Structure 1
Amino acid sequence: MSGVTRDDRVHVLGIRHHGPGSARAVATALAELNPQIVLIEGPPELDAVAPLAAAQGMRPPVAGLVYAVDAPSTANFYPMAVFSPEWVALRWALDHGREVRFLDLPANVSLVLADEEESEAPMDPIRTLAEAAGFDDPERWWEDAVELRYHGLDIFHAVLDAMHTLREGHVPDLRTRRREAAMRRVLRAALRSEASTIAVVCGAWHAPVLVPSAFPTQAADSALLKNLRTTKVAATWVPWTSTRLARMSGYGAGIESPGWYHHLFTARDQVVGRWLVRVAHLLRREHLDVSSAAVIEAVRLAQALSVLRNRPHPGLPEVLESCQAVLCGGSDVPMRLVARKLLVGDILGGVPRETPMVPLARDLDATRKRLRLKQSAAQQDLDLDLRTQSHLDRSKLFHRLLLLEVPWAESAETSRTKGTFRESWTLEWKPELEVALIEASGFGTTIPSAATAVVAQRTAEADIAELSTLVETTLTADLPVALSGVLAALDERAARQHDITRLMAAVEPMARVRRYGNVRRADTELVQRVLTGIVTRITVGLPAACTAVDEEAGRELRELIDGVQRGIGLLDQRELRAVWLSALRSVADRLGVPGIIAGRAVRLLLDAGLLDVTDAGGRLSRQLSMASDATQAAGWLEGFLSGEAALLVHEPELLEIVDQWATGVDAELFDHLLPLLRRTFAEFTATERRDIGLRVKRIDRGAGASGIRSDDTTLDHERASLVVPGILELLR
């Protein structure tokens, strides 16, 4: 079978998607054929935006994006790079003023079918042929077996014959048959024109079924495409990245080394030498010594390897092996840098200003330029000083985008501290963020209005704990209208809320807003009023909420109590602190409170100076007496000791009480309590645990906490030494 049917106008150019060898072959074939119509595999919806490929500002890699208008997350990308045959064909047609169309199943159908039917895993026929021939790189096989043996249109004649052989006896799945029927429908329409020559650029797998002499009847194709559901779609171009080219795309083809393929397509001669020079420049920038002589030696090694392997010229494996052996001294560490920077790369394409964009995306683009933020596929670390207006505006933009679920920037902060004028962010633009912007455009036409609408929607559905976090998020995003709505909802729901735990979860985030609002020059008086009311309700209901709860609920309450304590500490307001400590006193004195909560309350009261060491020691002694429940005592001890270990280090009376209880617990019960004790002491640092051990060693059980341990003549030191390693392991 021939790629050009005799006495026919159609020339089928079967290619490998994103293949530089195919791209060069297509360029040669189009120059020879000079067709009036060029048909390219892709959804027909891209016809409307195809002319933009030649517009100023269009810079591959880019992707055609077709999405469902009513559900933008339902979308398909159709990536193209400089070395993509589809891009070469598209640019040739536009540069020569020829008609160009896309042929495939329309996206308004395929986006619906994607949810309705399953298709077989996409086949890469050229990779299949390469592997059968013993090649690990399809592009190298293409060059060795096709381009170096065939010229002009003969390349595509050979590919067509090979694909025809591969398809013999193979029955494609329904989705593939529908796609090919849709391709033939577009081709039939082109044949009805007066064009004398038509070039079809498609995946090699589809080539045999697009030869007119092999067409099934038009009725058969129409039957495959009849009564298919459709949806309203829109099409545009979006920037793509070299990293995303390495993944499966709308064409069903991913490439492992887009940087290498770009080099193969753009370097007309001395491919290996030019590549190794680029590697040398990269390594030198990283302060690694690479001489010119080493580059020459690496080129010779790559050529020698290709001869040993009976290859006509070095491929990527030979180049990488020679690079590691000669330029990297055999180490694979520099090779990781080469793989990241050169084999894949961090290139981000660009699209012209006239590209169709939703208003929200245009607003982001204008804001980005105003704030001098660069859109890049490489990660960028950005430190902001909020005392500078431009940096403050950048911070507001990032927080608003997070509300819109467009995570262009992600916080790089390692702590929860909000009281500084510094923020750290990591920026990385990903193509899927274009879809996220389209989805978010349903909330508004500008970033502030859309973020305000998102906050309003979340406010209507959120509980008190979520609302308190939303207060903090809205403040950092500087959305005053939304903030007043969130606070009003929080005040109203707090008044009707009977679950004290939900109120407790709201305190710390709101306290941060009140304490650090001045960093962002925000008025937080309304936050103070709502927060005061919430703390008052908590103090009234806390004692009852802590009574008769199980162990799991007790631990959750302990965490919430710590959160309220941190929030009250941030505010440093005497009135709120007094009512809160009064509630903790009631919890500490109340019967039926789980040990982990009661112990924590006593510790907080001790730290606040409302209990002295003697009083705290008496409570600890009573809880750890032999008459008390050992599990309850262990929980009380865990709550009491949570936090800093300085209490045990500097208060020997408390340490002695703990020591006497631990040594007096029944052996079988101690095995049960050991995980609880280990969890308690595991929170301390290694230095703190060592200090506690030294203090315990000095305790004289007969003389008291301040005495010196008396010698025990009955101690069997040999037997005791057997348990020392285990004890040391527990104390680490």
Structure 2
Amino acid sequence: MENTANSAIHYLGVRHHGPGSANRVVAALDALRPRQVLIEGPSDCTELLPMLAQRDMTPPVALLAYVADDPACSLYYPFAEFSPEYQACCWAVRNSATVAFIDMPVSIQLAQMLAQRSEPDDDAEMAEEMTGGATEVQPSDQEPVPDPQDVNPIETDALRLNDALQLSTDPIGALATLAGYQDGESWWNDLIEQNSDDDVTIFATVEAAMTTLREHIADTDEDEPVAERNRYREAFMRLEISKAHKAGDGPTAVICGAWHVPELKAKHSAKADRECLKNLPKKHPKSKLKQTWIPWTSPRLASQSGYGAGVSAPMWYKHVWRHRNNPNALEHWLGHVTAALRAAGHVVSTASIIEAVRLCTSLAAVRNRPNPGFEEVRDASIACLCFGESVQWTAIEQQVLLGHDVGEIPENAPLVPLLEDLQRLQKSLKLKPEALDRELSLDLRAPAGLQKSILLHRLKILDVPWGRLTDSGKSRGTFRERWILRWEPEFAVKLLENLIYGSTIEQAANTKVCERLQQTQELAQLANTVQHCLEAQLDGAAEYGLKRIDEQAAHTSDAIALLTSLAPLVNLSRYGTARSISLTHIAALVDRLAIQAALALPLSCRNLSDEEANHFCQSISEAHQAVQLANLQDDILSDWWEALLTLSESPQTSFQIAGLSARLCYLGQQIAADKLQIQLQRALSPARPAADAARYFEGFFAGSVQRLIYDDMLLGTVESWLVHLEDETFIMYLPLFRRVFSGLDSMERKRLLQTILEGRQGLHTEKTLNAALLPHWPDHLQRIGKLIQRDKTWTQ
């Protein structure tokens, strides 16, 4: 391709998201004054590229391309403020130059993804499982990231380079090794990204380095999938560069990954390039593709997030870009670190900042680096600002290095309907998305607080958990909610996937939850889903959910299903204090289900395994708590108590459930103390098998062992049972006893042990100890002490 060698085409090889690369690109463009600026990126998205330079477009942002009927099949192209591509686009728009993308179209890339889905192999299935179907691509996703210092790659000895390449799988790391660096990242940062000069001759040096590297790895990398993908991309870009340069009327600047420059400048015929591309898949005939801009976040620019072209510290690079001409840049950054430490409660003096600045300079000199870099700043911060405590640095590291920036998209961007609706709601409610956790307390009595709550609940229904509700379940029926907000870029794709349900947040949430209600059969799940509908103020879905509850209740006879449905339904009947919704008809349904549960319980709790009994105990406890809160009619409440009394007295009831029922009836004053004592003595009698007595004991006291401190009758009965246990039996059930008594806090344990050891002086003085029991009393006290005492210091 002859005209690629034309002197009017200038190739600027960069690192994506590099502040030094961006600085030199702007300087080179100012010197060259090109009429065409060509950028590595999907060519069929060129129409959206000038929008990147609009004044109200605030990076970080990402170009999103997706299949309209399958939004999970998508590609991202992120841009940061310090990205060379972003700065090149801004320069082109400011100087009225033509700007265009030249890389492989997203139509081809998405067609490849669809083809892999139709005929998945193991690798494709694994990749899709790990990424959720969405691919994060920067216009040089898989290429090596260059990194240099004081070595001249043009004069690099070929033999030494071959030796270095054999020791490293990273070709750039091989050059760094020759320059005396341990890794390529530091080398590249010193030479370009953290270097304050804007000398454009560095592009020629980097090009020579890449040429040398590609010559020495060509044989070993020829059959690699990455190399094959690069061959397709480079062939396509050569054709696009030739076409754009011929159509232009002046110099052309090409901004691309440094790895591609040698091949883009190499002589290839247009025919050979077209032949190389002829077997690539074309756009799927039945799949409509869409492209738009979406907000991105600074943490997702980091390599730690899994982003192939990511950087280690996005906020550090942003600082380097913004303070590239500031002689006091180092002081500004250390001031930023100090502010984060002080906000975390640490005391950092101004003198410590001065010492940190001096240490940065000294470390750079000792390490023979041209300027203090990220490593020096980090080490100095730990030594001087954190006083050598790396834990303090770790606590603020994510905030300082990754930040919480979220980009903004101009109003004229071609947003899809749900994203547009969300952005409108965010602005009207003044809910700015941020990339770090932020607490939000809402008063539902205030219209603004209520509307924010409704939006967050609707997004949860759409599987977009922008907000995470804390203290879930404790604040229902109150006027306050506490949320933890954190925005993730994937939420944009989640909204795209919900487009099938509607074009607004409200419509999509209503349709999706109705579909969920239709597919749900269990009463408890239906009631919980209706609860979510009410919280999200989806009246249509809530009404449909109530109809589904009525339908399922008429066909439900399973005791567990009836029990588990009572609590959420009672919550529903008591809900609505902050939202004007009438739910009086739910009370009748609660009455009916309570009667059905009371009738089903005695027969359902017979001959159960331990696992089944545990399940029933939990369900009965939750249902009983709900029944106590519900305003049941006296005759219905009487039926419920009658069912529990039957369970406590029937010899066919599973022992754990019998114990629980006896305790509930006793606390509810449905069983007199003397009658309960007889039941307990019978259940914990030495004539009873130890396993059955232990199950009864667990059912009765689990979650209510505090009663032993205040109830003489219960304590005396338990003491008598424990005294008569054989040693082997006691040891066998010691884990059970520990589990039951773990419900006591330290003060309660102390009070219980004192009660046992000292007795209740002044109470029941008429009682005397049987003389026959005196020889056994020391052993008894020792057992009780082991049972209750959890550590050696609890009585102190």
TM-score by length of 2: 0.84
> Aligned runs of 1:324-723 on 2, under 5 Å?
324-336=382-394, 339-413=397-471, 416-463=474-521, 464-575=523-634, 576-697=636-757, 706-707=767-768
Residue matched to 1:264: 320
Shift of 1:80: 0.9
Q: Is the 8 A contact 1:39 1:198 kept in 2?
A: yes
Task: Output the CA distance in 2 between the equivalents of 1:524 and 1:274.
Answer: 59
Residue matched to 1:164: 214
Shift of 1:334: 4.6
Deviations 1:8-37 (A, max 9, x none): 554332221211122122222333333333
Deviations 1:47-106 (A, max 9, x none): 231121122310111111112211212222211111111212222222222232223333
Q: Is the 8 A contact 2:237 2:264 kept in 1?
A: no
SS in 2 for 1:42: strand
SS in 2 for 1:31: helix
Task: Output the CA distance in 2 between the equivalents of 1:726 and 1:565.
Answer: 30
Shift of 1:490: 1.0
Give the letter aligned to residue 308 of structure 2.
G
Residue matched to 1:126: 146
Residue matched to 2:790: 729
Shift of 1:371: 2.3
SS in 1 for 2:453: helix
Residue matched to 1:194: 247
Q: Answer with 446-455 or 513-522: which moved more.
A: 513-522
Q: Per the alignment, do residues 31 and 455 of structure 1 end up closer, same or farther by CA in structure 2, a change over 3 Å counting?
A: same
Deviations 1:102-144 (A, max 9, x none): 2333323324534446599945342543542343675652354
Q: Is the 8 A contact 1:306 1:318 kept in 2?
A: yes
Shift of 1:46: 2.5
Task: Output the CA distance in 2 between the equivalents of 1:519 and 1:579.
Answer: 33
Shift of 1:40: 2.0
Select the residue among 207, 213, 236 that pairs with 1:185.
Answer: 236
Shift of 1:610: 0.8
Q: Per the alignment, do residues 560 and 350 of structure 1 end up closer, same or farther by CA in structure 2, a change over 3 Å counting?
A: same
Q: Per the alignment, do residues 457 and 161 of structure 1 end up closer, same or farther by CA in structure 2, a change over 3 Å counting?
A: same
Shift of 1:555: 0.4
Q: Is the 8 A contact 2:102 2:241 kept in 1?
A: no
Mapped pair 1:225 → 2:263? no
Residue matched to 2:82: 83
Q: Answer with 517-526 or 628-637: which moved more.
A: 517-526
Deviations 1:639-687 (A, max 9, x none): 1112333422222222222222222223333333222222222223333
Give the letter aligned to residue 628 of structure 2.
G
Deviations 1:447-480 (A, max 9, x none): 2222211221011111222101112111212222
What is the root-mean-square deviation of aligned Cα atoms in Å?
3.3
Task: Output the CA distance in 2 between the equivalents of 1:215 and 1:266.
Answer: 43
Shift of 1:311: 1.5
Deviations 1:378-401 (A, max 9, x none): 332121222222212222221111
Q: Per the alignment, do residues 686 and 595 of structure 1 end up closer, same or farther by CA in structure 2, a change over 3 Å counting?
A: farther
Shift of 1:593: 1.4
Q: Is the 8 A contact 2:190 2:373 kept in 1?
A: no
Shift of 1:194: 2.7
Task: Output the CA distance in 2 between the equivalents of 1:421 and 1:208.
Answer: 65
Q: Answer with 521-530 or 290-299: which moved more.
A: 290-299
Q: 5+ unaligned residues in a row in structure 1: which ranges?
A: none
SS in 2 for 1:483: helix
Shift of 1:698: 5.1
Q: Is the 8 A contact 2:426 2:432 kept in 1?
A: yes
Give the letter aligned to residue 730 of structure 2.
F
Q: Per the alignment, do residues 347 and 124 of structure 1 end up closer, same or farther by CA in structure 2, a change over 3 Å counting?
A: same
Deviations 1:328-379 (A, max 9, x none): 4333355346533432222221110111212222222222222232222233
SS in 2 for 1:168: helix
Task: Output the CA distance in 1 between the equivalents of 2:724 and 2:790.
Answer: 21
Q: Is the 8 A contact 1:16 1:22 kept in 2?
A: yes
Task: Output the CA distance in 1 between the equivalents of 2:766 and 2:433.
Answer: 65
Task: Output the CA distance in 2 between the equivalents of 1:174 and 1:223.
Answer: 18
Deviations 1:196-250 (A, max 9, x none): 5333322222333222415692354124415686743211111111111113689
Task: Output the CA distance in 1 between the equivalents of 2:483 and 2:580.
Answer: 20
Q: Is the 8 A contact 2:104 2:236 kept in 1?
A: no
Identity %: 31
Residue matched to 2:263: 209
Residue matched to 1:53: 52
Residue matched to 2:161: none
Shift of 1:508: 0.5
Give the letter aligned to residue 728 of structure 1.
Q
Residue matched to 1:154: 204
Q: Is the 8 A contact 1:459 1:489 kept in 2?
A: yes
Shift of 1:708: 5.2
Task: Output the CA distance in 1 between the equivalents of 2:494 and 2:623.
Answer: 36
Q: Per the alignment, do residues 608 and 150 of structure 1 end up closer, same or farther by CA in structure 2, a change over 3 Å counting?
A: same
Give the letter aligned to residue 225 of structure 1.
L
Residue matched to 1:74: 73
Residue matched to 2:133: none
Q: Answer with 388-397 or 368-377: which moved more.
A: 368-377
Shift of 1:496: 0.9
Number of equivalences: 728
Task: Output the CA distance in 1 between the equivalents of 2:637 and 2:783.
Answer: 51
Task: Output the CA distance in 1 between the equivalents of 2:706 and 2:190.
Answer: 74
Give the letter aligned to residue 510 of structure 1.
L
Q: Is the 8 A contact 2:27 2:200 kept in 1?
A: no
Give the letter aligned to residue 456 of structure 1.
C
Give the letter aligned to residue 458 of structure 2.
R
TM-score by length of 1: 0.91
Task: Output the CA distance in 2 between the equivalents of 1:4 and 1:138.
Answer: 34
Task: Output the CA distance in 1 between the equivalents of 2:50 and 2:664.
Answer: 70
Residue matched to 1:30: 29
Q: Answer with 413-422 or 625-634: which moved more.
A: 413-422
Shift of 1:636: 0.9
Shift of 1:152: 5.8
Q: Is the 8 A contact 1:19 1:139 kept in 2?
A: no
Task: Output the CA distance in 1 between the equivalents of 2:777 and 2:582.
Answer: 70
Q: Is the 8 A contact 1:548 1:593 kept in 2?
A: yes
Q: Answer with 408-417 or 107-116: which moved more.
A: 107-116
Task: Output the CA distance in 1 between the equivalents of 2:353 and 2:430.
Answer: 39
Task: Output the CA distance in 2 between the equivalents of 1:645 and 1:639.
Answer: 11
Q: Per the alignment, do residues 539 and 211 of structure 1 end up closer, same or farther by CA in structure 2, a change over 3 Å counting?
A: same
Q: Answer with 420-429 or 8-17: which moved more.
A: 8-17
Residue matched to 1:307: 365
Task: Output the CA distance in 2 between the equivalents of 1:250 and 1:83.
Answer: 19
Task: Output the CA distance in 2 between the equivalents of 1:723 and 1:363.
Answer: 65
